[in-house]
Amino acid sequence: MSYVLIIGAKSDIAKEVARIYAKNGYNLYLAARESASLEELKQDIALRSGVEVVLKEFDITAYETHESFYSSLEEKPLGAIVISGYMTEQKEAQKEWNKTLETINVNYTGAVSILNIIANDFEKERRGFIVGVSSVAGDRGRKANYIYGSAKAAFSAYLSGLRNRLYESGVQVLTVKPGFVHTKMTEHLDLPPKLTASPSEVAEDIFNAQQKGRNVLYTKPIWMVIMLIIKHIPEFLFKKMSI
């Protein structure tokens, strides 16, 4: 059975992604900081799905360790899914540079660091798939979350270029743009139910889109329409709005 590497494996979405890939017969590398906290998830998945689950310690902002981390994988994965994310309050990030820097490093710089290494390997082997979880927040900067959004916009642009580069090598690159999702990261927010997905819904959408070879996924699908409208609001109007 082939391995799938899930980076940022402690997030609510990542746990559901792990379950659905395991259910479909993939072995797993679950990579995260303090990965030992995933032991219960590992045992549960292994028991239910009968696959191999390996916990790997990984810090997405410790760039100097990324090469050795990937080299340490006993069997190189068929796919890599980057779900690491960090979102602080916009007003906090505006005042505290360390919050801005962490937002950029987790959501963009660290993801690029590890994916550069993975992409080089997949390109050489001419096989594999990469999934990057970005956000609809990256489609247009809004005053409510433009620091987080700008990091996700950069990540989306990176994934687009990576997809263009790896196409001739037969490597799939999927950009995932969730809208509102019920997770620990958003539990303090009052989210509209009809526009908000559960982690299991997002995981199902990711698996199906990746298996079908899609390039970009909005989840829930209604977000593609919403963001199309938002992107086409003229700037002279948009700058006056609070959305």
Instruction: Enumerate the domain spans of the chain.
Output: 3-238
Q: What is the pTM of this model?
A: 0.95
> What are the backbone dihedrals phi and psi of residue 196, each rounded to the nearest 5 degrees, phi first?
-115, 130
Residue 221 CA from chain centroid, whole number: 17
Average pLDDT over residues 198-209: 98
Rounded to the nearest 5 degrees, what angle is found at the Cα of 217, between the Cα atoms of 213 and 222? 140
What percentage of the chain reaches a pLDDT higher than 70?
Answer: 100
In CATH, the architecture of 3-238 is 3-Layer(aba) Sandwich (3.40)
Task: Compute the mean pLDDT over every residue in the chain, rounded to the nearest whole number.
Answer: 96
Distance CA 16, CA 114 (A): 22
pLDDT digits (tens, 9 = 90+) for 91-137: 999 999 999 999 999 999 999 999 999 999 999 999 999 999 999 99
pLDDT at 190: 77
